[in-house]
Structure 1
């Protein structure tokens, strides 16, 4: 569709718009992007009523705060740098600190990769059996659920049986106080294992060479000094346009925003925008879309079909005009406002504080009370900051932030560390086993 052949601005005024407006958050949760909406009410100075928004895409990325001097003092010395910025980095810190790194696994049998004992970190709430007491010839195990990020040490692989009937293999785990736990091998758990120093390739500690921004934030603790150099990847920032100054990467956060464009039918001009999902505006959607939301199974009348055709042609033409620039917009580095700079520092510090408090709390109590508010709303204490252009939350996961598990947990813009507890493996409240028998498991493969 050639956007030049369609009068986008005229079509926008011809479309019928719903009387009941929606918030921006309601709209992006109800409809797949891209969509066009009309601003009905706005308290935001540069978003005018009766202008039209093309909402092209909703996306999450890691956003870094870079400073050309330290500490950050002036907004023209602070920059927001998306991890998608198309350039490579050279490490300039004299003694950069390497982060702890983890292997992530799914399935209890993956523990067979390692020589035991080995400490493991549970990535989701996980059911186990805790040793309770010796009951005659039987060992009594009580069902418990351990919280996310609980660390226990897997000590050995054993057989377990109930009433002398072979039931399979299990791992025996212990906590810091020496309490024992039974983990059946068939459990489809998610866990991580910290990589030991001797398990790294020695080149990992060589800070020479070029790194992508994702490699920098995965490999190094912040702050870290970098300089940008050209990348050989297609579409990368040309050398002439790269910043010449050295940057200190001060903090990072997970940013969620909406990229699109705003159309003004009076001036017949448009400009690109970035909006936070929490932006306080009311939007009207075309009536042809409202019909589908209210009654998705109903057939459209001829008039409604014509209205949808007009809307679809207008949307495609607007996309044809804006798509390339909207895509480029999210790769750009830009100067941070005072508010954005302060918010980036705030969420980063809050994330560090949250991890420290969580670690301290888990030392005292790592069992999950299934009736507690924490179980019902595990992300209630996770801080965030809603700005006009971006919605920021801290990165609070250890290990690789780009792991598929992390992406799964951030689905729909929510940090939700608990799986639905109703789908945990079916287990009796107590398990009476015969004597456990060691299993010869052969050589473990690293």
Structure 2
């Protein structure tokens, strides 16, 4: 894990000292939680006390303020001049950038719709219609027979025509969709029991004329860049480059790969003279204690004589007041930390690169079959399809856990877990240890 000194003003330091005195009045739970179990069960922010540091650089009985769990796109970048370091830029960075690449590759952009009648907007045939959820349709056979099927999520089809036939569609108007195997499907737009969720690729001539103009005159933020362009991409940081806390940081860099990273930002406040910011992976292994007012009423929370402990409303209000004061005091420094680029360790660089490569591989893979037959279990499983198990990585960095976007064309969509079976076994073993420790 990573830690940095937290610089506070005299007024802020005085406030932290006052909060520390209030924390000394807390009644701490005897039982212990494993860190990742605690953050899954209790909503952050919370105040905790380190119990067993295990193989970390934490200190027993140190007091931590756990701010929150954060998602960031971390972008690997290299200097355009000679420099052996690899920099990691978070998309939270507030500076503006200029694109230096002479012929940048634009990413595909998509319109999203939730009604089949929206297909009437487009001339036919219209390619690159992507299904955003499993969709019921009718497979049209060469004999004009129709078989109920389920078109799979993320399948791309072509809007071919509108069919109105007494023999095929019973006189109704239906859309005819075609897949990459030249199979045709009938979609009834009047079926209202489920919406038709789809996206269609925006064609070049459908963009505003300014979208593809000379990029050297335009300034973008990092989120705008990774949504707009394919990597690698050469850029220049135009604003706020001088505030980056890295010695001799180059302003002209090449963005190479990225992944989504989850981390918990915590502030060590056990020693008010030397507060530190810690960045923790959610998989960090140590045990902790929380205040008793949080655990009152839980099934495992009983006193020594076996009787349930009564809820102490005054203690809980006191805890809430202290926590609110820490939020006001530490939120801005934590957010600023999350915005800062940093020099990546080899472990962090390798991990981000591996996840990015996995995502690109998944993006390029095509499935042999685009549908499953409804009501026929024998047709549902296709042995020729590739294994859809999410690939795993061997080890996450101590600073964060990594994930990949479901859709690399839309990096700000939801994320996909990337974790191995061995990790899951370790987490189950840790949970057992936590229960044992709590019972003791």
State the TM-score bracket (shorter-chain normalisation). Answer: 0.7 to 0.9
Pairwise CA distance, 1:33: 1.5
Distance 1:26 1:160 in 2: 59
What's the counterpart of residue 129 of structure 1?
138
What does 1:37-48 correspond to in 2, within 5 Å? 37-48=48-59
Residue 161 to residue 390, structure 1, CA distance change in 2 (3 Å): farther
What's the counterpart of residue 154 of structure 2?
149
| Residues 225 and 247, structure 1, Cα contact 8 Å, conserved in 2 | yes
Aligned residues: 381
TM-score normalised by the chain length of structure 2: 0.76
Partner of 1:381: helix, strand, or coil? coil
Partner of 2:371: helix, strand, or coil? coil
What's the counterpart of residue 250 of structure 1?
256
What's the counterpart of residue 4 of structure 1?
15
Residue 379 to residue 322, structure 1, CA distance change in 2 (3 Å): farther
What's the counterpart of residue 441 of structure 1?
none
Task: Show structure 1 runs of 5+ residues with no match.
Answer: 231-236, 416-446
Distance 1:20 1:287 in 2: 10
| Residues 354 and 382, structure 1, Cα contact 8 Å, conserved in 2 | no
Question: Which 4+ stretches in 1 moved above 6 angstroms?
Answer: 160-166, 300-303, 369-374
Residue 320 to residue 163, structure 1, CA distance change in 2 (3 Å): closer
What does 1:30-429 correspond to in 2, within 5 Å? 30-69=41-80, 74=84, 77-119=85-127, 120-132=129-141, 134=143, 140-158=145-163, 169-185=173-189, 186=192, 187-206=194-213, 207-208=215-216, 209-230=218-239, 237=240, 240-241=242-243, 243-265=249-271, 269-291=274-296, 293-294=298-299, 304-357=312-365, 359=366, 362=367, 364-368=368-372, 380-383=389-392, 386-402=396-412, 406-407=413-414, 410=415
What's the counterpart of residue 437 of structure 2?
none
Pairwise CA distance, 1:64: 0.8
Distance 2:139 2:283 in 1: 44
Task: Show structure 2 runs of 5+ residues with no match.
Answer: 1-11, 302-307, 419-440
Pairwise CA distance, 1:332: 1.1
Distance 1:132 1:344 in 2: 46
Residue 92 to residue 373, structure 1, CA distance change in 2 (3 Å): same
Partner of 1:289: helix, strand, or coil? helix
Distance 2:137 2:146 in 1: 9
Pairwise CA distance, 1:203: 2.5
* RMSD of aligned residue pairs (Cα, Å): 3.3
Residue 354 to residue 323, structure 1, CA distance change in 2 (3 Å): same
Listed one character per residue, the Cα deviations across residues 95-147 of structure 1 (whole Å, up to 9, x for unaligned) are 2222222222222222121111112111233222212475xxxx542222232
Distance 2:133 2:352 in 1: 27
Residue 211 to residue 5, structure 1, CA distance change in 2 (3 Å): closer
| Residues 80 and 254, structure 2, Cα contact 8 Å, conserved in 1 | yes
Partner of 1:251: helix, strand, or coil? strand
Distance 1:391 1:91 in 2: 29
